[in-house]
């Protein structure tokens, strides 16, 4: 007897419907259980899990012939998420589950030997695939039910065990679908706990202003200065002023983390923007993503958030330079012999850099011990094309003792965040209906022409600066985007002279050494 049950394969962040076709031959003389369809070891091992789970759930597993085909057969299958679908297929083929109840459904879950249905990664993407295929029901592990229920217009059934599922399919003990009104979602208006407040950071007001502009338009930042001046502290305070994610952005980020199996806690939806700070010893694959079964890298895990690289000049050159394409295209593509996967990678890049190997080039108190050759070699690890993709360059100076010991508190992160939210709301209204446009940094050249209107004074200053500073076309467009954000923070529609002047002063005149 033949049964067909639907499962799902996760390729990157996209789910692909898989037909689990189970053929049961009750006349087979030699017991066999064969799985075909380009299945890897984890999938083939499901034979033993399924056999034991069925028996330990009080059901029958006749010792006859079984052939399970995972169709389409040319798509690699690499997950334990097929266990539940294979088990239901076996039960339907042996008349122990009603085949009619499986026709408009998808089954997702790993089985333990006692029949318990266990968590799998990627349930959100699989639920999206079920919705797109027009299926009415998706059966998922109880642990994954809340995140799968973020997909509307489909019944999500939380399954605890295989025996419980069979009783439900026969109508003996129905399992209620997830009630979406009871989902516990984080309050999007509050920043994450444990974040340093701007009010607790003494001095460095011009650095805080630069970070406010960066958050206001999602602009890339480079912080340069001697050790101990607060570069890392300022960067780690950044999440406190980032704007609230829209529901669309939150679902994008949640989908990434669910596919990477990195969701934590009991809240299914991520509402706070990610902040990723990998160590400078990170590998190429760790940064960009990869592996025999490709997984998202740091550039994707920072999607819609911040990617902070401290001591960036200490990182391998190949790892640094791989950031060029994601910064420009907002996506990263990982190609393998059998497949090509594209991950989103729209992040705010923050770099922290010492001005020289000893760290004290240009410091007014401590003398630098590096030779010009050493400094040039040190800074050359960051190429000109990558530096050209940075919008804001700021030097973090040594703080005066008087400011460091002062009792006065600075402006709080909440106050700064309010201005950032207002600027982002202007941008959302400006880019309404434009796909992939969330912030000023996302603007293309034609969008810059349409939205970056300047006064005559501002235009003249910009033209003069481009000539004297010998800026590239990319740098020119980035200055316009930055000026547009500064104008948004000032709540004005036209870029005026002060806005253009402030945007220009965040560009280095010639080289990173000169700007330090």
Strands of 354-443, DSSP E = 392-395
**What counts of helices (H) and strands (E) characterise the chain?**
22, 18
Angle at 130 between CA 128 and CA 133, to 5 degrees: 110
Q: What is the pLDDT of residue 516?
A: 36
Q: Is 284 exposed, middle or buried (0-12, 13-18, 19+ CB in 10 A)?
A: middle
What is the band of 263 on the pLDDT scale with cuts at 50, 70, 90?
confident
d(CA 73, CA 36): 8
Does residue 513 have a pLDDT over 60? no
For 369-387, what is each residue's pLDDT tens digit? 999 999 888 888 888 888 8
DSSP state of 109: -
Does the bond joining 72 to the residue before it have cis omega, within 30 degrees of 0? yes
CA–CA–CA angle 31, 33, 38 (5° rounding): 155
Closest CA to 311 of 264, 256, 266, 356: 356
Work out the mean pLDDT of the chain and round it to a whole number: 90
The per-residue DSSP string of 19-82 comes to EEEEEEETT-SS-EEEEESSB-HHHHTHHHHHHHHHHHTT----SSEEEEEEESTTS-B--GGG
Those residues with Cβ within 8 angstroms of residue 94's Cβ, 6 or more apart along the chain or in another chain = 1, 24, 60, 61, 62
Q: How many CB atoms lie within 10 A of CB 231?
A: 26
For 460, half-sphere exposure in the C-beta direction (CA atoms, 13 angstrom radius) is 4
CA distance 395 to 234: 12
Q: List pLDDT tens digits, range 140-195.
A: 999 999 999 999 999 999 999 999 999 999 999 999 999 988 887 766 666 666 78
Which domains occur in the chain, in start order? 2-182 (3.30.230.10), 198-515 (3.40.50.300)
Q: Which residues contact 317 (CB under 8 A, 6 or more apart)?
A: 381
CB 366 within 8 A of CB 358: no
| Residues contacting 64, CB < 8 A, separation 6+ | 24, 25, 26, 27, 28, 31
Instruction: Over range 209-216, report the average pLDDT.
Output: 96
Q: Are 417 and 273 in contact (CB under 8 A)?
A: no
pLDDT of 113 above 80: yes
Two structure tokens written together for 223: 């912080």
Range scoring the smallest mean pLDDT among 34-43, 212-221, 399-408, 435-444: 399-408
Q: Is the pLDDT of residue 271 over 50?
A: yes
Q: What is the pLDDT of residue 514?
A: 38
Between CA 182 and CA 264 the distance in angstroms is 19
The predicted-structure confidence for 434-489, as pLDDT tens digits, reads as follows: 888 889 999 999 999 899 999 999 999 999 998 888 888 888 999 999 999 999 99
Q: Which DSSP symbol is given to 268?
A: S
Cα–Cα dist 79/228, whole Å = 46
CA atoms within 13 A on the CB side of 47: 18
Q: Residue 201 and residue 197: Cα distance in Å, rounded? A: 7
pLDDT, one tens digit per residue, over 419-431 is 999 999 999 999 9
Q: In 3D, which of 155, 220, 514 has the Cα closest to residue 388?
A: 220
DSSP per position, 146-215 = HHHTTSSSSEEEEE-BHHHHHHHHTTSSPPPPP-GGG-----TTSPPTTPPPGGGS-S-HHHHHHHHHHH
Percent of the chain with pLDDT over 90: 69
What span, in angstroms and rounded, lies between the C-alpha atoms of 324 and 420?
26
Mean pLDDT of 203-229: 92
CA angle 22, 26, 27 (to 5 degrees): 125
Give 448-451 contacts, CB < 8 A, sequence gap 24+.
Answer: 448/477, 448/480, 448/481, 448/484, 451/484
Phi, psi for residue 475 in degrees, rounded to 5: -65, -40
């Amino acid at each position: 007897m033949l049964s067909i049950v639907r499962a799902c394969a996760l390729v990157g962040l996209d789910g692909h419907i898989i037909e689990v076709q189970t053929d049961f031959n009750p006349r087979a003389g030699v017991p066999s259980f064969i799985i075909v369809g380009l299945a890897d070891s984890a999938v083939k091992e499901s034979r033993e899990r399924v056999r034991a789970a069925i028996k330990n759930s009080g059901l029958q597993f006749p010792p006859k012939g079984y052939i399970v085909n995972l169709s389409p057969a040319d798509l690699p299958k690499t997950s334990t998420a097929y266990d539940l679908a294979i088990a239901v297929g076996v039960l339907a083929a042996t008349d122990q589950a009603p085949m009619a109840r499986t026709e408009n459904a998808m089954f997702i879950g790993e089985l333990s030997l006692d029949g318990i249905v266990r968590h799998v990664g990627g349930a959100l993407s699989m639920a999206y695939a079920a919705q797109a295929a027009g299926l009415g029901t998706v059966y998922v592990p109880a642990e994954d039910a809340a995140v799968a229920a973020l997909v509307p217009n489909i019944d999500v059934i939380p399954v605890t065990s295989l025996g419980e599922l069979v009783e439900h399919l026969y109508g003996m003990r129905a399992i209620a679908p997830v009630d979406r009104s009871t989902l516990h979602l984080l309050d999007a208006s509050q920043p994450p706990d444990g974040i340093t407040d701007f009010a607790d950071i003494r001095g460095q007001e011009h650095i805080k202003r630069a970070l406010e502009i960066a958050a206001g338009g999602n602009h890339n930042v480079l912080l340069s200065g001697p050790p101990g001046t607060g570069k890392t502290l300022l960067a780690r305070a950044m999440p406190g002023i980032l704007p609230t994610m829209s529901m669309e952005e939150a679902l994008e980020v949640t989908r990434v983390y669910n596919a990477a199996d990195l969701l934590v806690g009991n809240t299914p939806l991520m509402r706070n923007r990610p902040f990723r700070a990998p160590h400078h010893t990170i590998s190429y694959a760790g940064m960009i993503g990869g592996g025999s079964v490709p997984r998202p890298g740091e550039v994707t895990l920072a999607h819609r958030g911040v990617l902070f690289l401290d001591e960036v000049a200490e990182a391998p050159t190949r790892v640094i330079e791989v950031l060029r394409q994601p910064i420009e295209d907002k996506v990263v593509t990982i190609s393998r012999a059998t497949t090509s996967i594209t991950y989103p990678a729209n992040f705010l890049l923050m770099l922290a850099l010492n001005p020289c190997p000893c760290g004290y080039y240009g410091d007014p108190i401590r003398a630098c011990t590096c030779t010009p050759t050493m400094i040039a070699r040190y800074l050359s690890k960051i190429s000109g094309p990558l530096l050209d993709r940075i919008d804001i360059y700021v030097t973090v100076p040594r703080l005066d003792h008087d400011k460091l010991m002062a009792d006065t508190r600075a402006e709080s992160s909440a106050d700064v965040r309010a201005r950032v939210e207002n600027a982002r709301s202007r941008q959302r209204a400006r880019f309404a209906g434009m796909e992939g446009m969330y912030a000023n940094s996302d603007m293309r050249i034609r969008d810059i022409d349409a939205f970056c209107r300047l006064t005559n004074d501002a235009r003249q200053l910009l033209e003069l600066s481009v000539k004297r500073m010998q800026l590239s076309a990319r740098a020119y467009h980035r200055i316009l985007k930055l000026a547009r954000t500064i104008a948004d923070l000032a709540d004005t529609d036209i870029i005026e002279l002060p806005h253009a002047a402030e945007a220009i002063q965040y560009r280095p005149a010639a080289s990173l050494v000169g700007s330090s």
